[in-house]
Amino acid sequence: MQIPFSPPYIDDSVINEVVDTLKSGWLTTGPKVKALEQEIRSYSGARQVLCVNSWTSGAIMMLRWLGLKDGDEVIVPAYTYCATALAVIHAGGRPVMVDSGEDFNISIEGIRRAITERTKAIIPVDLAGFPCDYDEIMKLVREPEINVRFHATSPVQHKLGRILILNDAAHSLGAIYNSYKRTGAETDVAIFSLHAVKNVTTAEGGAICLNLPEPFDNEALYTELRMMSLNCQTKDALAKSKAGGWRYDIVGLGMKINLPDVNAAIGLAELREYPKLLLKRKRTFLKYNRAFANFDWAILPPSEAKGKETSYHLYALRIKNITEEQRDEMIDIITLRRVYLNVHFIPMPMLTFFKEQGYDINDYPQAYKNFSQEISLPVYPQMTDEMVAYVIDSIVDAYYKVAKVPKISTASCKEKSAPKMEFLAP
């Protein structure tokens, strides 16, 4: 059996929606993007949603809109995909990395210690789809002793009057916060990624959710940012295509990061089926939970706690008391059985570019621990019971091959077999 890590979900309804776009004569940003924005808006409860061509480009644009100046700081977790920090650098800021907690998410105490007069934004990441504690983060940036130190240096920063919270919700479309709210509605700005490996995809894409407080007008902001995503051109391609609509102006330094309709069609069809697909993910996730709960060496990933529920994007299993090398060895053994795995994530301070900037993994012990013990298992809607059982069996088998207790001789180690696994029965 071969089990890919995260194949895209493409059924007839997705294909038909794309074909419909191809036949419509309109390929780039137009009616399908509008429809996708409306769908994401009603699904997430965000006040406005603007689609762009990636999470990364959307984050760069939002940080440029915020008006970062040289040396301005943006707090990010050390444990995330590199895009979270790269967007800050592209927008002219400096990422300040903070260690994680045991739930993989950024440490709130770490955020508190990292805030300075130069802090302009915080980008928490809903790791694996499990939401961060946004009420606590909002409470923190509103504390009088924190807020007096906020030093606005752009019109947007003056208008906001505090540190901006931008949720990296790349993983967490459909996750639940505060028992009923969905992610996308809970922070000033939240950005979903619609990249090919995410729960809902447009091949490449991102959706910016806007929930700015008064005196911001989110609808006016949507119009402004839509223009900014199209070179700050006063007329988009659709408006220009109308008879006599050729004249336009360029009113600022924008970016060219709009999402084409061909891409939006994929996401539009997937989103219609998403509630059903999410339940399928959850089913697989819970099967893993039931299986690994039998082993005291397995640490189950966070899924439901304090009114929060994950989007079941990743199953981030951790193995107690193993080294990074042993984890790597486990993955090699499992790969031989043609089960494809991943590790989310290599902490940024371990990557060459960030090391060269002076970040040091020794400053982020929990991030390193989470990373060194982590294996992400496949958890997508197309997975059958048989596939799930095969993955579980491969993990258990690899664990007992790798985690040899030094005191046991090689001979007795070979004899040692995995406990009987009743959960494998149909």
The CA distance from 93 to 164, in Å, is 14
Return the residue nearest ligand PLP (CB atom). Answer: 55
* C-alpha 60 chain-centroid distance: 15
Determine how many CB atoms are found less than 10 A away from the CB of residue 420.
8
The H-assigned helical ranges of 357-384 are: 365-372
118 or 171: CB nearest ligand PLP: 171
Minimum distance between the CB of residue 270 and ligand PLP, rounded to whole angstroms? 15
- SS3 annotation, 266-325: HHHHHHHHHHHHHHHHHHHHHHHHHHHCCCCCEECCCCEECCEECCCCCEEEEECCCCHH
Minimum distance between the CB of residue 108 and ligand PLP, rounded to whole angstroms? 18
Per-residue binding letters, 43-82, with ligand PLP (x by CB under 6 A): -----------xxx-----------------------xx-
Minimum distance between the CB of residue 171 and ligand PLP, rounded to whole angstroms? 6
The token duo for 127 is 């790791």
Under 8 Å between Cβ of 136 and 163: no
Minimum distance between the CB of residue 237 and ligand PLP, rounded to whole angstroms? 22
Give the contacts of 417 (CB within 8 A, at least 6 positions apart).
400
The answer to whether residue 125 forms part of the interface with ligand PLP (CB under 6 A) is: yes
What amino acid occupies position 216?
Answer: F
Minimum distance between the CB of residue 83 and ligand PLP, rounded to whole angstroms? 4
81 or 288: CB nearest ligand PLP: 81
83 or 221: CB nearest ligand PLP: 83
The answer to whether residue 281 forms part of the interface with ligand PLP (CB under 6 A) is: no
Give φ, ψ of 213 to 5 degrees.
Answer: -75, 170
Per-residue binding letters, 359-398, with ligand PLP (x by CB under 6 A): ----------------------------------------
Positions 186 through 245 that interact with ligand PLP (CB under 6 A): 193, 195, 206
Residue with tokens 């459909």: 174
The CA distance from 192 to 205, in Å, is 9
Minimum distance between the CB of residue 424 and ligand PLP, rounded to whole angstroms? 32
Per-residue binding letters, 83-122, with ligand PLP (x by CB under 6 A): xx--------------------------------------
Question: Which window, 39-47, 133-141, 164-172, 370-378, contacts ligand PLP (CB under 6 A)?
Answer: 164-172
Rg, the chain, Cα only: 23
Minimum distance between the CB of residue 37 and ligand PLP, rounded to whole angstroms? 16
The CA distance from 88 to 83, in Å, is 9
101 or 206: CB nearest ligand PLP: 206
Whether omega before 260 lies within 30 degrees of 0, making that bond cis, reads no
Residues that bind ligand PLP (CB under 6 A): 54-56, 80-81, 83-84, 125, 168, 170-171, 193, 195, 206
